[in-house]
Amino acid sequence: MKKELSAIEAKYEAQKIAFGPMFFQSVVALRDLGILEFINSQRKGVSIDTIIEKMNVSEYGINLLIEAAEVLGVVEIVDEKVKITKTGFFLLKDEMTRINVNFMNDVCYMGAKAMTDSIKNGKPEGLKVLGDWPTIYEGLSILPEPAKKSWFEFDHYYSDGAFPAALKIVFKTKPKTIFDIGGNTGKWSFACCNYDTDVKIRILDLPVQLKVARQNATERGLLDRIDFHAIDLLDKDQVIPQGADVIWMSQFLDCFSKEEIIQILKNAWQAADEQTTLYILEPFFDNQDYPAAQYSLVATSLYFTIMANGNSKMYKIEVMKELVRQAGFEVIETYPLIGDSYHSVLECKKRL
């Protein structure tokens, strides 16, 4: 059972939330000014005077950022020496943390102020700070830097880890044709072509993304095996063509509301026949092994609200299964937390 907080502890927790955004920026500054790296390089700890001497930052700035970092548990001060803590080490060296911090700082931070309006209006009101698009997806390939780099690193970090194990699942029946719905820059499609020399892929996505995918496929000499189909799946009149052995949706359905997911899956249903397998690869927030993973996924839902589209989120696994059923598919197999990833795969067949 969770320990009940005392009033004093609860008040402290509330202050962490109150000042959280500023403390976040103080850690970004500590990292980007090189101070955290310098502290990390001094295994036995380092005095504040030495930090001031070695860094090209004012005494004021160093003291300020170190006081904040100590409060946050990013550094500790023992016998007047500043040392990096485990948390500080993760902020500096852990890939997932680095990617999450950059995503937060470069993509979400400025728009986060629009949370209330986004929820009221069901629109990503924070997106205006990056560009004038109805959803972030129309702007993905043309986002201003550093938002673009940080968005793609965030997206790829999570899906890349799942692909090796997912390939084994998808290719167990040796499909000849795969439709990669929301195929983005083509990473999954290229992995498929690499894994199986016979498979043919069709990437379906918004036109702006297909430009990048086509360019990438050209560079890899894969134009004879991959073709491209521009589609806006929010438009009911645009249908997914028939003919796929596998319909693949990776980190795709979380970009939509429940009603939209049903509409898109019904579209996939009309494209499927009894042989077609629909695979859904998603990080479901309620079946994670680590609290950091669940925390990150719930945070990602907030990003969808303010920056992506104002109406989507990360889902619980049973919620997604129910949407699959409502669209006319049945989940015939669940592969929970495949490989070294946060993702599960739902293998689905058309209910006839």
Ligand X SMILES: C[S@@+](CC[C@H](N)C(=O)[O-])C[C@H]1O[C@@H](n2cnc3c(N)ncnc32)[C@H](O)[C@@H]1O
**By CB under 6 A, residue 341 contacts ligand X:** no
Residues 82 to 121 in contact with ligand X, rule: CB under 6 A: none
Which residue, 162, 207, 161, 166, is CA-closest to 183?
A: 207
Decide: 314 and 341 in contact? Cβ < 8 Å.
no
DSSP string, 5-39: PPHHHHHHHHHHHHHHHHHHHHHHHHHHTTHHHHH
Cβ-proximal residue to ligand X, closest one: 182
**By CB under 6 A, residue 284 contacts ligand X:** no
Q: Nearest approach, Cβ of 333 to ligand X (angstroms)?
A: 20
Q: Nearest approach, Cβ of 251 to ligand X (angstroms)?
A: 4
Q: Nearest approach, Cβ of 233 to ligand X (angstroms)?
A: 4
DSSP string, 82-121: EEE-HHHHHHHH-HHHHHHHHHIIIIITGGGGGHHHHHHH
**Whose Cβ is closer to ligand X: residue 66's or residue 264's?**
264
Which residue, 187, 147, 191, is CA-closest to 168?
A: 191
Residues 212 to 251 in contact with ligand X, rule: CB under 6 A: 231-234, 250-251
Residue span binding ligand X (CB under 6 A) among the ranges 32-40, 64-72, 201-209, 220-228: 201-209
Print the binding letters for residues 53-72 with ligand X: x by CB under 6 A, - otherwise: --------------------
**By CB under 6 A, residue 124 contacts ligand X:** no
**By CB under 6 A, residue 278 contacts ligand X:** no
Number of residues engaging ligand X in binding (CB under 6 A): 19
What does the CA dihedral 68, 300, 292, 154 come to, rounded to 10 degrees? Answer: -90
The site for ligand X (CB under 6 A) is made up of 137, 140, 155, 159, 182-184, 188, 205-206, 209, 231-234, 250-252, 255
